[in-house]
Amino acid sequence: MIIRADYALLAPGVARRDVRLEVDGPRIVQVRSGFALERVRPDYDCGLAVLTPGLVDPHAHLELQFCAGRTPYRGSFFDWLQRVFKLKQRHGGVTAFPRKSLSALAAAGCTTVVDHHSHALNWPAIRRAGLRYYPLREFFEFDNHRPKLTELRKKAHWGYAAHAPYTASAQVARACRRLSDEAGRPLSIHLAEVPGELRFIKTGDDAEIIAMLAERGIYDRRFKGTGLSPVGYCAKLGLLTRTTYAIHVNYCADGDLELLSDLKPTVVFCPRSHAFFDHPAHPLPRYLNAGVPVALGTDSLASNDRLSPLYEAALVRREYPQVAAADVFSAITAAALTPLGMARQLGRLEPGCLADLAVFRLPGRPKSDDFASLLDAVISVGQSALTICDGKVIHEDDR
């Protein structure tokens, strides 16, 4: 398969004109740039368009597809969390096959998604959707101090997520870390998401968290706090490594930046969800300046109105203009790949890489062909005309 376009963003910070990309099976075998007369016509001559690597969404809750438009935020995060939990119970669980969500991601140019689930889903149907789909089973049980590894293994279809330091006990979280390491899989944990979490982990005293845990029957009265921030606490437990997704990390306490910079978990910032809950400005620029890997996630339709890495990137470009365009692009492509062990396989368009890519048609010539201008043009378009994963077309528009 040969695909040609007037422009390409080959990797973070690398833009080219007149790109001709050749795919053989699941891999890219040749990338040429610059005008040249060719004897073999491309299978897809996309013309005025931008080629990009397949986009990556490292934090989604696709099982919450049914929550779209049904969970407004009314000022209390834990009240919202309880309403989502109760809605799941009334709904009968979760969306077993989130077809619409998977289709929306593919149409947005996304080829890789790290999903977080709490129930078994329709795995064969999800595989047939064609995306690189990595499901992490979330574990809670704040009062469980002797988790059985065999039970955790049975519940996890692929990988493990210790939900948060205030919902999963230290023993459950460490068990998830151990099982993740044994399987060669990433560990995910929601971390430093809300101020109440910081109070609870440090002192053991936050009325909303205690009430939520008590209502779910998992409150541990013996927990009196750790004297640490959530980041410091998880670092002490050995949970934060290069194979960890630290989700949100909206609040950065004293000493946290140094720990994150040293341990280098991948922080996953979810801009639309962040705005939904009215959090103050994210420490994103500080993390990037300190060398902390940062990726962008979509979270869920319970706190977002669209599942698209580009939609998240658009908000970052608007709200954090000091962040370089190359870093924003990396955050929706390459930055999330290290915990998956795919950093050498995906995230850029070059020979030997897996053939994951997207094509974005432009309505007119961009003002400039520099990297930032082309990225902004792609963000403005928003929807992919052609999405290919593992050398196979998983989305194609009518044109």
Q: Each residue of 243-286: pLDDT tens digit?
A: 999 999 999 999 999 999 999 999 999 999 999 999 999 999 99
Please, which residues bridge with residue 133 across strands?
A: 113
Q: Would you state the pLDDT for residue 34? A: 79
DSSP 8-state symbol, 54? P
> What is the tens place of the pLDDT at every residue in 22-75?
999 999 999 999 766 667 889 999 999 999 999 999 999 999 999 999 999 999
What single string gives the DSSP state of each residue in 188-231? EEEES-SHHHHHHHHHS--HHHHHHHHHHT---TT----SS-HH
> What is the tens place of the pLDDT at every residue in 326-384?
999 999 999 999 999 999 999 999 999 999 999 999 999 998 999 999 999 999 999 99
Rounded to whole angstroms, the Cα distance separating 181 from 257 reads 24
Percent of the chain with pLDDT over 70: 99
HSE-up of residue 176 (Cα within 13 Å, Cβ side): 35
Distances (CA, A) of 395 to 114, 157, 261: 19, 26, 38
Query: How crowded is residue 297: how many other Cβ atoms within 10 Å of its Cβ?
Result: 31
Q: Would you state the pLDDT for residue 92? A: 78
Q: Would you state the pLDDT for residue 367? A: 87
Among 227, 228, 230, CA closest to 247? 230
Q: Would you state the pLDDT for residue 37? A: 65
Find out whether 159 and 134 touch, Cβ atoms under 8 Å: yes
Rounded to whole angstroms, the Cα distance separating 315 from 318 reads 5
Residue-range domains of the chain with CATH: 2-54+347-396 (2.30.40.10), 55-340 (3.20.20.140)
> What is the tens place of the pLDDT at every residue in 83-131?
999 998 888 779 999 999 999 999 999 999 999 999 999 999 999 999 9
- Helices 309-319 and 371-381 pack at an angle, to 10 degrees, of 120
Find out whether 290 and 257 touch, Cβ atoms under 8 Å: yes
Find out whether 228 and 249 touch, Cβ atoms under 8 Å: no
Span 190-218, mean pLDDT?
A: 97
Rounded to whole angstroms, the Cα distance separating 398 from 394 reads 13
> What is the tens place of the pLDDT at every residue in 134-177?
999 999 999 999 999 999 999 999 999 999 999 999 999 999 99
Distances (CA, A) of 37 to 6, 32, 40, 41: 14, 12, 9, 10
Q: Would you state the pLDDT for residue 40? A: 83
Least confident span in 92-96, 110-114, 206-210, 393-397: 92-96
Is this structure's pTM higher than 0.85?
yes
Distance of CA 73 to the CA centre of its chain: 22
Span 176-181, mean pLDDT?
A: 98
Bridge-based pairing of strands 132-139 and 110-117 is parallel
Distance of CA 231 to the CA centre of its chain: 19
For 287, the enclosing helix (H) or strand (E) is helix 284-289
Q: Would you state the pLDDT for residue 36? A: 67
Bridge-based pairing of strands 357-361 and 386-389 is antiparallel
Query: How crowded is residue 2: how many other Cβ atoms within 10 Å of its Cβ?
Result: 16
Q: Would you state the pLDDT for residue 347? A: 98
